[in-house]
Amino acid sequence: MRQRFVDILNRKKQRNGVVPSVLLWIGAVVLLSACTSVNGQSSAFKPGTVYSVGFNGNQFISYDAGNSYSIDQEGNISISYKNGAVTAKAPVQLDVTGKVMGMGKEETGLYISEDKTAIVYGFANGASEPLHVLITDDKGDTWNDYEIKGAKGFETKFIGFATDKEGWIVSGASNGLGSALNYVYQTSDGGKTWVEIGNANEVYSEHLTAAGFYNQDIGFLGFRYYMDYGPVIYWTKDQGKSWERLTVTLPDKFDEYRMNPLSPIFNGKEGLFPIAVRDQELNDIGTINLISKDGGLTWVYDETYDKLEGYK
């Protein structure tokens, strides 16, 4: 598996202006895990296109599964599957004026798979305004809009599915200058119902750059670097009942670099945790990676997977 990762990472391919190493790394992992569930069981669940937040705070494609979306001038969302072979319209209209909180492109989370497409959107105040999740299991022929009543969050949103039934959402809300509160929700019935699990706000409340779960119990939140150059990762192994900072040991040569975690990917119990790297001049130069062989319980740095351009 390692050699296959390395072979794919060696291919030079630019997509959507994103650093090639990020795209190629995630593409390698997801392609290899396409027939395996997060618990290592055989599964026909197809991987989805995953959107993340970059160093500049903008949304970008971190893994392209051949599915994508676009927004017209009125804010209508069009979904494309199989590189445009199938198209569909999503029954939601985003705000393109920047005036409606929670409804802009950067405040909307998407996960686009041929088997399941999910869109999390809206302003959620924990009371009268719920979070909304749009889901289709048939490439846009039919859609269901589910509400998460009592949910909170109106800024950056992340959504993902490990299987066709098990998924997660993380929604954030600003909490003063340079700070954010983040709320975590899970589903075990394909997105029909969601429950809130514990979050990391009491131990760390900043803006997220990454989120991902190995299973319902083990999950990870990656945070944007500030005074601490990172990588700042908090994790739970008890479904959010407790969170602690993940100990990351890296060579001394990386001390002067800024690092933002990207979402971890699992192939059975083997996982990769990519970390985006910036130099002192704030140039994005690629990724380094942590690896796990026990479902995310332990991680070690492995230079085999480094993809750094312009490293000094």
- pLDDT per residue over 45-75, tens digit each? 787 887 878 788 888 777 788 999 999 999 9
Q: What is the pLDDT of residues 254-308, one digit of tens each?
A: 988 999 998 888 777 888 888 999 988 889 888 899 999 999 999 999 999 888 8
Q: What is the pLDDT of residues 185-210, one digit of tens each?
A: 999 999 999 999 999 999 999 999 88
Give the side-chain half-sphere CA count within 13 A for 149: 1
| Global pTM value | 0.83
Q: Going from the N-terminus, what domains does the chain have, and what CATH number goes with each?
A: 2-308 (2.120.10)
Q: Tell me the sheet residues that pair with 60.
A: 52
Q: Tell me the sheet residues that pair with 237.
A: none
pLDDT at 257: 92
Q: How confident is the model at residue 19 (pLDDT cuts 50, 70, 90)?
A: very low
pLDDT at 312: 47
Task: Mark 53-85 as b/e (b = at least 16 C-beta within 10 Å).
Answer: bbbeeebbbbbbbbbbbebeeebebebbbeeee
Q: Tell me the sheet residues that pair with 76.
A: 93
pLDDT at 221: 95
Per-residue tokens: 109? 């989370």
pLDDT at 311: 52
Percent of the chain with pLDDT over 90: 59
